[in-house]
């Protein structure tokens, strides 16, 4: 029994460092925080976030298909993170999860034609983030 515990401890230390990450979901009241291994893939982190979000009963309802979402790191740049990259490779612990813009297709002469990208709200998460930083204090 003692050897089993030693092997178990060795296995967890060989798995890499663990990180407490914070993921803000656009439109949600607050971030979701949990611990992950730094070697865990971005795709599995996105899956965990969506499941935690649904389990907590947060609004708006997002669904569980990770193909409809992108994960950004606001500090590292404006490009979405690749799903096959390790979450610890970016050197940050704060991320933003938002829905991908949806393509609208119309059928013309029996062939689908891509019209463009529609958005329910004007702007993007970057503009929302910048607006939230520019808090104005009203004078009396």
How far apart are the C-alpha atoms of 43 and 87, rounded to whole Å?
9
pLDDT digits (tens, 9 = 90+) for 88-124: 988 899 999 998 876 656 666 666 555 544 445 555 6
Query: What gap in Å lies between CA 65 and CA 42, rounded to an integer?
Result: 14
Return the CATH class of domain 2-100.
alpha beta
Does pTM surpass 0.85?
no
Return the domain boundaries, the chain.
Answer: 2-100
With 60 as the cut, is the pLDDT of residue 13 above it? no
Overall residue count recorded for the chain in this entry: 140
């Amino acid at each position: 029994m003692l050897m089993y515990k030693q092997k178990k401890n060795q296995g967890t230390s060989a798995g890499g460092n663990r990180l407490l990450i914070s993921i803000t979901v656009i439109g949600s009241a607050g971030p979701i925080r949990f611990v992950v291994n730094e070697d865990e893939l971005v795709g599995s982190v996105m899956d965990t976030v969506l499941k935690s979000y649904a389990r907590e009963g947060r609004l708006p309802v997002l669904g569980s298909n990770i193909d409809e979402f992108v994960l950004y790191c606001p500090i590292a740049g404006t490009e979405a993170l690749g799903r096959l990259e390790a979450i610890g490779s970016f050197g940050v612990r704060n991320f933003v999860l938002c829905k991908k813009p949806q393509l609208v297709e119309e059928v013309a002469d029996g062939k689908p034609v891509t019209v463009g990208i529609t958005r329910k709200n004007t702007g993007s998460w970057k503009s929302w983030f910048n607006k939230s930083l520019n808090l104005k204090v009203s004078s009396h």
